[in-house]
């Protein structure tokens, strides 16, 4: 007997952290669950599942979005980036290092979503002031840090990334 149409899995092909991947998902499967369960990317954290907390934030075509408010079938043909895309060959990214240095995390549950938000935000606003940084962080809930360390970390990364390229003396 064939399954009812709402239970039939659909093929989803997309670019995940720079790699072409494919999988199949029931229409009702949330992107957050699909990334964790089918793609084994457990850096995508799940908490409130209704878009309030920001833990599950990933980037779709570069934009920071809530994975819990997105269906897996909706990312067919899209580019998805998760926190796993940030470190390379075991070395943390500049942003991750700054978060560690400035105690931008404690338990770390909210951190993957925040890191992905910050990367998307800095692409749109490469030189934000503190108020703009805090406004952006307002889209995430962190119950450990009080956000101050995050603000410091982000400010440091902004400075580093905007430093003029040093002139090489000949």
Partner 1 sequence: MKPKGFEYLRAHSVEQALDSLASNGDDAKIISGGNSLMAMLNFRLLEPKVLIDISRLEALSGIEYKGDYLEVGAAATQAQLQAWPGLAERMPLLALAVPHIGHFQTRSKGTVCGSIAHSDPSSELPLCLALLGGSVVLRSKRGEKVLKAADFQLGMLSTACADDEMVVAVRFPVKRQGAGYAFTEVARRKGDFAIIAIAAEAVGGTIRLGIGGVADKPAVREWSDLATDALDDKLNELAWELGGNDDIHASAKYRRQLVRRLGREVIETAQENGVAVKETN
The site for partner 1 (CB under 8 A) is made up of 4-7, 10, 26-28, 30, 33, 49-51, 54, 57, 60, 63-66, 68-71, 73-74, 76, 117, 120-121, 135-136, 138-140
Least distance from C-beta 65 to partner 1, angstroms?
A: 5
- Give least dist CB 41 to partner 1, A: 18
Q: In the complex with partner 1, which residue's Cβ is closer, 30 or 164? A: 30
Residues 6+ apart with CB under 8 A from 59: 65, 79, 80, 81, 82, 116, 119, 120
Q: How far is the CB of 58 from partner 1 (least distance, A)?
A: 10
Q: Is the Cβ–Cβ distance between 70 and 31 less than 8 Å? A: yes
CB of residue 133 to partner 1, shortest distance in Å: 11
Residue number with CB closer to partner 1 (28 or 100):
28
Distance CA 157, CA 143 (A): 23
C-beta of 82 vs 117, nearer to partner 1: 117
Strand partners, 21: 14
In the bound state with partner 1, the residue whose beta carbon lies nearer, of 50 and 88, is 50
HEC secondary structure over 51-84? CCCCCCEEEECCEEEEHHHCEHHHHCCCEEECHH
Q: Which alpha helices (H) appear in the chain, and where do they start and end?
A: 31-37, 94-101, 111-124, 130-137, 148-162
């Amino acid at each position: 007997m064939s399954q009812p149409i709402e239970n039939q899995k659909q093929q989803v092909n997309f670019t995940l952290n720079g790699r072409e991947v494919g999988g199949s998902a029931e229409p009702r499967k949330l992107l957050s669950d699909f990334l964790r369960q089918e793609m084994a990317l457990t850096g995508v954290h799940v908490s409130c599942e209704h878009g309030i907390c920001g833990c599950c934030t990933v980037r779709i075509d570069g934009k920071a979005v809530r994975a819990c408010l997105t269906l897996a079938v909706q990312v067919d043909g899209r580019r998805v980036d998760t926190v796993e895309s940030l470190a390379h060959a075991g070395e943390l990214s500049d942003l991750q290092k700054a978060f560690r240095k400035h105690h931008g995390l404690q338990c770390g549950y909210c951190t993957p979503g925040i890191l992905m938000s910050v990367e998307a935000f800095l692409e749109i606003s490469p030189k934000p002031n503190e108020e703009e940084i805090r406004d952006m962080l307002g889209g995430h809930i962190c119950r450990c840090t009080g956000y101050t360390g995050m603000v410091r970390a982000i400010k440091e990364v902004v400075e580093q990334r905007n430093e003029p390229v040093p002139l090489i003396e000949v």
